[in-house]
Amino acid sequence: MADYDIEALRKSFVDDVTGAKRAGSAASAGVSFTRGISRGGDGLLGGEADEAEEPETFESAMRVLLDVLADDAAVPEQKIIALERLGAAAFQPQRFAPFHAEFVERLRALALSDDKRLRLLALDRLTLEDDDEGKRMLRESLEGTRKPLVPAATAVRLLARDEHGDAAPLFRELARSGPVRVREESLRALAADAESVDLLAEVSSDKSESARMREVAAMSLKAASPERFAQVARELVLDEQEDDRLRATALSALAFAPEAADALDGEAFEPELEGIREATASRALKTSIDRYAQSRAPKTTE
């Protein structure tokens, strides 16, 4: 059994990060350190594991990396590399289990860092871990009860990873009144919320909204309620005053969503589409009509 010197390993790690930074290659930082403690490769923290690795090797590496995250004197670049290595190590859940709780605590602290890169990386990882504290921080940032930790659109995207959480009312509020990017992310986040169907249908059909906003709402509506989407999409496609790109997008979505298309009266809709195909000059709309017709054609068996 090797007796690894924690301070020596830490110095090796810092030297590697510092050297990579001077060379302008942050992506390669920490490589020598990793190789130095993994006995023949990057196995412990990002590559194929070496079956001959000694337990002390992995444990020593984790101890050094966690200490770097907790060290107020460590520069952000060192902490970023440590986060990357720890994230890679977490893919070995059995070996990483003794360090997991401390890792989460370090992430919670970094989520409040003065460095915006560390805040983003920490909150990204916390939401992947489905951590309640991390989600609370994001929710409070969006509600305005704490200083924003990340841009609002990013906060919505991260918080939306919890499909079974309680943030849907907040997302609905932001989808109605937030800035453009926040509204778009909030509409996407509502794709899994059945209670948001009316709002999604409303935005999809509102001609005062941008085509982009309506498209985002329509795609979320397709996921939340295929039947309601079919109604909205039909109205969009048949309205000659609508944006042709939006009409084409809605029809293509119907072509790839048979559960939605099945909700339509095909005997009435398909002849209407043929009339549009003859009248329109939009190549995209014609292509979508052909795609839809092909998707609804009877399947032949050989």
* Structural domain ending residue among the three candidates 90, 110, 130: 110
DSSP for 243-299 reads: -HHHHHHHHHHHHT-HHHHTTS-HHHHHHHHHHHHHH---HHHHHHHHHHHHHHSPP
Would you say residue 289 lies in a domain?
yes
User: Cα(189)–Cα(148) distance, rounded to whole angstroms?
Assistant: 19
Task: Give the chain's domain count.
Answer: 2
Would you say residue 270 lies in a domain?
yes
> What is the rounded (10 degree) CA torsion for 193, 199, 200, 205?
170
User: Cα(266)–Cα(295) distance, rounded to whole angstroms?
Assistant: 12
What the block records as the tokens of 111 is 């989520």
What the block records as the tokens of 76 is 């952000």
Compute the radius of gyration of the chain from its Cα atoms: 26
- Residue 18 is predicted with a pLDDT of 56
Its domain, for residue 34, covers 1-110
| Interhelix angle 116-128/76-89, nearest 10 degrees | 10
- Residue 14 is predicted with a pLDDT of 63
* Structural domain ending residue among the three candidates 62, 87, 110: 110
Beta-carbon count within 10 A of 144 CB: 9
Per-residue pLDDT 10s for the chain (302 aa) are 344 565 666 666 666 655 555 555 444 444 344 443 333 334 443 344 444 445 568 888 899 999 999 999 999 999 999 999 999 999 999 999 999 999 999 999 999 999 999 999 999 999 999 999 999 999 999 999 999 999 999 999 999 999 887 899 999 999 999 999 999 999 999 998 999 999 999 999 999 999 999 999 999 999 999 999 999 999 999 999 999 999 999 999 999 998 898 889 878 899 999 999 999 999 999 999 999 999 988 766 55
Q: Which pTM value belongs to this model?
A: 0.81
Would you say residue 173 lies in a domain?
no
- Residue 15 is predicted with a pLDDT of 64
Cβ neighbourhood burial of 247 (10 Å; 0-12, 13-18, 19+)? buried
- Residue 56 is predicted with a pLDDT of 65
Would you say residue 49 lies in a domain?
yes
Would you say residue 119 lies in a domain?
no
Would you say residue 25 lies in a domain?
yes
Would you say residue 177 lies in a domain?
no
Would you say residue 278 lies in a domain?
yes
Confirm if 218 and 233 have CB atoms less than 8 A apart.
Answer: yes
* Structural domain ending residue among the three candidates 65, 88, 110: 110
- Residue 113 is predicted with a pLDDT of 97
CA angle, 114 then 107 then 20, to 5°: 70
- Residue 85 is predicted with a pLDDT of 93
User: Cα(165)–Cα(140) distance, rounded to whole angstroms?
Assistant: 14
User: Cα(43)–Cα(45) distance, rounded to whole angstroms?
Assistant: 6
